[in-house]
Structure 1
Amino acid sequence: MTAPTPRSVVVPYITARRGEEPEVAAKLGLRSGGGLCYLDEGLGDRDDQGVLWARCSQTHEDGWPIGSPRWSMVHPSRQRETMQGLRCQVCVVQTASRTASGYLFIAARPKDTTKADWPEGALTWQPPLCLDCAVIAVEQCPHLSKAGPVALRARVPRLYGVLGTLYTTGADMRPVPVVVSDEAKDIPLPYKDHLLRPWFLASQLVRELRGVSVVDLEREIATARA
């Protein structure tokens, strides 16, 4: 979700907050066999596929993030938590809504309308939602309102890969980020790319939606309440 309308008060769990800062790049190093590592690497720094994840501090009060929202950014750990566990990205306390048609995701209608198979096989780094929070997302997210929100059910939201930053070895034998275009920044790295995977610092988990159907969100809400 991006910036809300002025009347909104709900800040999604995954939204980054003021005071939450990325780990300094000085703690990144190179593994002896090639690839990235943290100089003080510990458990949880890598996912099940062996990809290194960006560190970022968290500000909490009673288990909930605090601080002014940074609407254009998501927190790496909280995005990973909700996407990995298929929990609601807004409230986190609930698992994502799931029916016989699959898990609930809200997507913006793509600009490229020539993709006849969309949304089958769509890649998303927006975690799923529970029904109540899906209503909030549709009402409050300007990006969705502008593009036109689409409610999707995916029976198989399989793990695909990650978004983040690709690194290489610099002149001083330290890792340095690879310069890419703005368009390339939004191209996920598939987990099956074993060549680049060791050199990638992940910041968002990506799923590929399979067995997808477009649903009427208002009708589903009415049915659930009935």
Structure 2
Amino acid sequence: MSRSSIAPYITAWSAEQDLPCALVERPDRSIGYASELLSDRDRHGVLWQQTALRHGVGRPEFARVHPLRQRRAMELLLCQVCGGPADQNEDGVLWLQRDCRGDWPQWPDGMASAEPPVCLPCAATATRMCPALQRGAVTVRVRDCPVAGVRGVFYKQSVLAPTAATAGNFSYDDPAIRRVVASALIRELRGCVIVPLEELSGTMT
């Protein structure tokens, strides 16, 4: 049995705990790590949560997402389940989302998503096996999905060291992002068309 059949690619394993990185104030009023490496920041200069990379070691912790693998899947448009290329055609990249069509009329157009896309085989598998998706899921073709920001924790100034204050989504043009430790990359979904999974499955036969 392959690892992808045990747990999704982006799932964190029990051996992949957060690393002890001390936060410090920087002269420009941003935050950083006391012993910071170039790899601790993304190409936009945002600081990222550092987590051990031991994929497949221990047990999968389905409630946690590994920051590096999530970021890689989002940057390269990889399937969040198997880690291979996400399905993509002239109608767009394939996303699998919990059904929230009651949220607004054009849902999910304009939605900020931290969930990476999927490939066709994994869309069907995830719909069958994921308890959250069994309560209602839709497959969506997305024509445009620009990287928009990060999900993370904002740290306020404190006497001894920066202190966690607020968790949320932060766009790259938000000045507050200079004090954020990111844990997930976000893409904005635009030009969305909901396509029934049955229609997509028919293209595989």
For the aligned pair, the TM-score class normalised by the smaller chain equals over 0.9
Deviation at residue 9 of structure 1 after TM alignment: 5.0
1:152 maps to which of 125, 135, 140: 140
1:163 maps to which of 130, 147, 151: 151
Give runs of aligned pairs for residues 117-132 of structure 1, distance below 5 A. Answer: 117-132=106-121
Structure 1, unmatched stretches of 5+, are 1-7
Taking every aligned residue pair, what percent have the same amino acid on both sides? 36
The secondary structure found in structure 2 opposite 1:67 is coil
1:192 maps to which of 139, 152, 173: 173
Deviation at residue 114 of structure 1 after TM alignment: 4.8
Deviation at residue 21 of structure 1 after TM alignment: 1.0
Letter in 1 for 2:164: P
The TM-score with structure 2 as length reference comes to 0.93
Give runs of aligned pairs for residues 104-119 of structure 1, distance below 5 A. Answer: 104-110=94-100, 113-119=102-108
Deviation at residue 28 of structure 1 after TM alignment: 1.6
Q: Would the alpha carbon gap of residues 114 and 24 (structure 1) be closer, same or farther in structure 2, given more than 3 Å must change?
A: closer
Does residue 100 in structure 1 map to residue 90 in structure 2?
A: yes
Q: Would the alpha carbon gap of residues 41 and 212 (structure 1) be closer, same or farther in structure 2, given more than 3 Å must change?
A: same
Q: Which residue of 2 aligns with 1:53?
A: 48
Measured against aligned partners, the alpha-carbon deviations of 1:129-159 in whole angstroms (never above 9, x if no partner) come to 111111111111111112x101001011111
Deviation at residue 10 of structure 1 after TM alignment: 2.9
Q: Which residue of 1 aligns with 2:6?
A: 10
Aligned residues: 202
Structure 2, unmatched stretches of 5+, are none
Structural RMSD (CA):
1.6
Cα distance in 1 between the residues matched to 2:57 and 2:19? 19
Letter in 2 for 1:84: E
